[in-house]
Structure 1
């Protein structure tokens, strides 16, 4: 279990690092709305990853299936991006998906 906790921490740090780099690039290459949308999306991605990790950690105890509560996060992100004029849907969703390159990066580093 200690190895899993260390892996979780490394994944979170990698996700935060990838998100920070992407937001800085968006801030330089695009405008503040795109960068803020990317930031909001990446925060939602970190929350999703955290909820998923917590759900997976409970699998060994009494639970036999992964919870579905984390699926609410991307739905709320898309609804918020559609309703709020300060957010754009595509950069927010790309920001949400930034945890995936962090997973690949962590796999390459560990591999």
Structure 2
């Protein structure tokens, strides 16, 4: 279990690093509202990853299935981006997906 917790921390840290790299580049390349949307999406991705990790940790010990609460995060993000004029949908979704390259980097580093 200790190895899983270390992996979980590394995934969250690499997602934060990817966000810390992507948001300033987006602000320089595009504009601040786009970078803000990317940041909001990345924070939603971190929340999703954390909820998923917590659900996996409890799997088999307390429950027999993986929770569905984390599935609300992308839905709320897209609805918020569609309703709020300050958020742009595409950068928010791309920000949400920033956790995926972090997972790929961790998989490559572990092999």
Q: TM-score range by the shorter chain?
A: over 0.9
Q: Which residue of 2 aligns with 1:81?
A: 81
Q: Which residue of 1 aligns with 2:70?
A: 70
Tell me the TM-score normalised to structure 1 length: 0.98
- Give distance in 1, aligned partners of 2:41 and 2:20: 12
Instruction: Give me the CA root mean square deviation.
Output: 0.6
Structure 2: gaps spanning 5 or more residues: none
Aligned residues: 111
Q: Which residue of 1 aligns with 2:110?
A: 110
Structure 1: gaps spanning 5 or more residues: none
Tell me the TM-score normalised to structure 2 length: 0.98
Query: Aligned-pair distance for 1:103?
Result: 0.1
The list of structure 1 runs, each at least 4 consecutive aligned residues, that deviate by more than 4 angstroms after superposition, is none
Q: Which residue of 1 aligns with 2:22?
A: 22
Deviates more, 1:38-47 or 1:54-63: 54-63
